[in-house]
Amino acid sequence: MASSITHKTVFILDRSPFFAQSCNQPIEYDTLKSKGSGVIPAAPIYKSLWTCNVEGVQEYLRIVFDIYPKDRHFRVVSGRTSLNPWNCPDTITTLNMRLAQVGPPLKSKKDDSEYSVFHGLSSAIDCLREPTQEQQDMLDNGDIVRNRGRIIYLTVLKNDMQVNHLEEYILEALQHNKMSSSSDLLPIDECELVLVHTVPVGHDIRITEKPCRELNSCVKFEVTSSHSGRHLYNKLVYLCCKHFDLCSTTVTGIPMKEEQNASSSANYDVELLHPATAHDELFKNEHAEGLVIKSKEGLPIDTTPLKWCTPKSNVIELHQCSAAYRICPVDVNSRPSSCLTNFLISGRAVMLEQPRKSGAKVISHMLAAHGGEIFIHSLPTSRSILEDPPSISEGCGGRVTDYRITAFGEFMKENRLAPTKASLLESYGNRKPYLYAIDHLEKSSRCWPMVISETILFNLQNLSQLPQLLVQETLTEEQLLECTKLIYKVLEMEQKNDPLPIPATGSRGKGPKRDELYRQLWSELETLVRSYSDTSEKHNKVLECLLNCKKPSDEKVIVTRKTPSKKEDKSGGGAGGLTEAEQSWKELDRYQQMSTREKMEASQGEKTQDAPPPKKLKAEELLMRSGGQTLLTMWNNRLKTIHQKRSHEFDARLDSPGDKAKLYIHLDENSSEQSNVNTANVAKKQPVM
């Protein structure tokens, strides 16, 4: 952007005594006319040529700053004085203040040479040579800066001879500036000079207009002329549209309450300016004829009328849109304009419809405000190649019905994005903020089953706090206590033989036995806690607590199921280990298939027996793999489990005659009891109903 011709524009205001005269366009300012007799209305007032110039420049600036608030810079010079620097924080306010200080030209001719047109031009060239902040930054980075800019000179020209002189002057001046390369000033690579000749209304113009043409590879030259007053404003808006490639849209048929009579409403039109590319699609169509009309605000440009569609609901939808540009209302303070802009800024979006003779409704644009700025959005109107897409349910994974949709919704909310505040940006240093968001995602997805039937742990309401606590960066003493309490709770549940939410395995069999489920729960717990154990010392303590609580007979499951998944977690986290991660996925799949088979065997109830004692080899493997522990703690844990095994025999086995123990001896009783209770309830309720 810093090397575009629109990056820098210098206005020269001619402050010679000529501009002190009236523009000859009367303005009625007395609003008292309607009041009773006896009051003589004030005579109309006249603006000076200077005032018209200043107002015109202000409007030019207002339009550009509304549409391009960044990267477009302006300076105003008058004679030898420059009124503002580049990258002025609030250009229009600064200029207003400086212009008030400078004041209008004086009518008396004192020193004509001070106002010579050449002085203005020479200071404007100096301005263009000064780098803007963006250009300075590029220079500091060692980038090549192509310094381009435009000079718009609001002046009065004596005759065509003077035009030729100016033409020669600019050529020479730019030739000269190339030769003298000073360290802090840039040479001008390209410059466009626009002379705007203006005379009071009713005077002869007497200057031949010259359309923009190249004098040489780096200078373009244009002469244009206008009467002052409203005509000059029109000319400057026209130039602004040309220079910044803007075009006009008129929003038609805006229903508005009448100012005097609030019960009736009438339709109004509001004209907006915006980058011409917003209408690209409109004019690419072959049948674009009749889409433009003359500007309703009297500007010398065409406007595209688009019909207002009253928004029906407040629901904010995601519209597909191909472009969005800022707009600028032409007559900013008029009642229809401010009604429209206030309506939009309040958060409503308005669709705009193309006028079509055929009667087909084609909505091609949308007006909406974001952060106090109004944008025109272009909506695609032609056929899309994405029409009639296959449904997601037809693809991979489409037939699975028990995704944890709600839980992932929570996950997404926990991983919402926010812009980085300046203070935070500083603390991040060189690391890009989005990487912190990715870190957060990685952390919260370490142990996250996608479907309900894959997990018991995440289906237990009373354990839902555990993952939330573990994902934190640090744990307080209380939180650590909370975690351990939750683990003890599982222990308690197991001892009480509480029922667990059984993952739906389809229609095959009765589903796995309860102790099988508890074993799965414990191993899930371990995977969860283990994946966060390296976060802090307290996290590790949670793991220790868990390992102490686990029954030794669970070990087998740990080995078969969770080792690969742990590995997956680690490698999946790193950016480079993709193939390794894929490998582990496969491995995991294999292991999961294996355990389902085991589950099925168990569910068929053919062999109701305890899991076989872990093979020695596998137990050793577990020791080798259980990362994050010292050899000593591992050995201690091992000893502890062995002791536990010795000291505490399975209670049921003590009562049973042989080596085998019957499990769930009370199961049948319970269920029959329960059904009894149920029928009792129903029986009780019936009379009431």
Partner 1 sequence: MPTIIALDVSLSMSRSVLLPDSTEEYQRRHIAIHGINTFLDYLSANYKLEFVSLIAFSYLYEQLSTFTRDYSIIRTALTKVEAFSKTCIESALKGIKDVTSEEWSNTSCQVILITDGSLGVGVGSLKHSLETMNARKSVEEKFPLPFPFPCKLHIVCIANPNDPDVRSALPYYQKLINVGNQGGEIFLLDGAISFKSVEETFNRLAEKYYNPYCGTLLCGNFNCAVQLFPKPEPFIKQSNDEKVTYGVSDKIEIIGFLEIKDVGSPPTVARHLILPRSTKEKSDTKDKDAKNGKSEEEDDSQDDGKTPSFTVLLHGSLRVESMVAIARVCNDWYGMIYSWADSKKKSNLMLALFDPGQDSVPWLGPFDNLTSWKEYSADDEEKKSPFPVRPADKRSYAQSCVVWIKPSGLQSDIQKVLRHARKLPDKLHQFYKELNRTRRAALSFGFHSLLEALATMLDRECTLLPGSAHPNAALQLTHAANFLRSEQAFDEKQNVVPLLTNFASSSN
Q: Which of residues 603-662 bind partner 1 (CB under 8 A)?
A: none
| 480 three-class SS | helix
Q: How far is the CB of 187 from partner 1 (least distance, A)?
A: 15
- The binding track of 97-116 with respect to partner 1, each residue x by CB under 8 A or -, is x-xxx-xxx-----------
Is 311 among the residues that bind partner 1 (CB under 8 A)? no
Q: Which listed range, 126-134, 159-167, 239-247, 567-575, lies at the site for partner 1 (CB under 8 A)?
A: 567-575
Is 664 among the residues that bind partner 1 (CB under 8 A)? no
- 649-671 CB burial, b ≥16 within 10 A, e <16: eeeeeeeeeeeebeeeeeeeeee
Q: How far is the CB of 67 from partner 1 (least distance, A)?
A: 9
Q: Are 490 and 552 within 8 A, CB to CB? A: no
Considering only residues 233-262, where is the footprint of partner 1 by CB under 8 A? 233
Bridge-based pairing state of the strands 22-27 and 45-48:
antiparallel
Is 321 among the residues that bind partner 1 (CB under 8 A)? yes
Q: Is 186 exposed, middle or buried (0-12, 13-18, 19+ CB in 10 A)?
A: buried
Nearest to 53 by CA among 88, 87, 102: 102
Is 448 among the residues that bind partner 1 (CB under 8 A)? yes
Residue placing its CB nearer to partner 1 in the complex, 441 or 667: 441
Angle of CA points 299, 300, 302, to nearest 5°: 90
Is 169 among the residues that bind partner 1 (CB under 8 A)? no
Where do we find the tokens 């849109």?
321
Q: How far is the CB of 136 from partner 1 (least distance, A)?
A: 18
d(CA 208, CA 297): 27
d(CA 18, CA 199): 9
Residue placing its CB nearer to partner 1 in the complex, 281 or 554: 281
Is 391 among the residues that bind partner 1 (CB under 8 A)? yes
Would you state the torsion angle of the CA atoms of residues 296, 302, 304, 310, taken in this order, to the nearest 10 degrees? Answer: -20
Question: If binding means CB under 8 A, how many residues of this protein chain bind partner 1?
Answer: 139
Where do we find the tokens 């272009």?
378
Is 163 among the residues that bind partner 1 (CB under 8 A)? no
Is 171 among the residues that bind partner 1 (CB under 8 A)? no
Q: Calculate the CA 368 to chain-centre distance.
A: 15
Q: Which listed range, 51-59, 193-201, 208-216, 651-659, lies at the site for partner 1 (CB under 8 A)?
A: 51-59
Interface residue with partner 1 among 444, 505, 535, 560 (CB under 8 A) is: 444
Is 420 among the residues that bind partner 1 (CB under 8 A)? yes
Residue placing its CB nearer to partner 1 in the complex, 210 or 326: 326
Where do we find the tokens 């149920």?
678
Is 289 among the residues that bind partner 1 (CB under 8 A)? no
Nearest to 84 by CA among 136, 50, 49, 124: 124
Is 441 among the residues that bind partner 1 (CB under 8 A)? yes
Is 406 among the residues that bind partner 1 (CB under 8 A)? yes
Bridge-based pairing state of the strands 323-326 and 373-378:
antiparallel
Residues whose CB is less than 8 angstroms from the CB of residue 69 and which lie 6 or more positions away in sequence, other chains included: 326, 373
Interface residue with partner 1 among 333, 346, 461, 686 (CB under 8 A) is: 333
Please give the structure tokens belonging to residue 411: 């996950």
Where do we find the tokens 């009749």?
290
Interface residue with partner 1 among 119, 165, 210, 230 (CB under 8 A) is: 230
Would you state the torsion angle of the CA atoms of residues 60, 61, 65, 68, taken in this order, to the nearest 10 degrees? Answer: 60
Whole-number Cα distances in Å, 550 to 76, 219, 518, 523, 610? 79, 83, 10, 9, 16
Is 88 among the residues that bind partner 1 (CB under 8 A)? no
Residue placing its CB nearer to partner 1 in the complex, 184 or 387: 387
Q: How far is the CB of 617 from partner 1 (least distance, A)?
A: 30
Is 167 among the residues that bind partner 1 (CB under 8 A)? no
Is 332 among the residues that bind partner 1 (CB under 8 A)? yes
DSSP state of 534: T
d(CA 546, CA 522): 9
Interface residue with partner 1 among 324, 491, 600, 623 (CB under 8 A) is: 324
Q: Which listed range, 242-250, 288-296, 300-308, 341-349, lies at the site for partner 1 (CB under 8 A)?
A: 341-349
Nearest to 236 by CA among 249, 247, 245, 225: 225
SS (H, E, C) 190-246: EEEEEEEEEECCCCCCCCCCEEEEEEECCEEEEEEEEECCHHHHHHHHHHHHHHCCE
Q: How far is the CB of 110 from partner 1 (least distance, A)?
A: 18
Q: Are 497 and 663 within 8 A, CB to CB? A: no
- The binding track of 342-381 with respect to partner 1, each residue x by CB under 8 A or -, is ---x---x----------------x-x-xxxxx--xx-xx
Is 683 among the residues that bind partner 1 (CB under 8 A)? no
Considering only residues 571-590, where is the footprint of partner 1 by CB under 8 A? 572-573, 578, 581, 585
d(CA 28, CA 46): 9
d(CA 270, CA 251): 5
Is 319 among the residues that bind partner 1 (CB under 8 A)? yes
Q: How far is the CB of 445 from partner 1 (least distance, A)?
A: 3
Is 416 among the residues that bind partner 1 (CB under 8 A)? yes
Q: How far is the CB of 358 from partner 1 (least distance, A)?
A: 15
Q: How far is the CB of 54 from partner 1 (least distance, A)?
A: 5
Interface residue with partner 1 among 21, 136, 415, 629 (CB under 8 A) is: 415
Interface residue with partner 1 among 158, 421, 510, 615 (CB under 8 A) is: 421
Interface residue with partner 1 among 212, 438, 504, 642 (CB under 8 A) is: 438
Residue placing its CB nearer to partner 1 in the complex, 392 or 688: 392
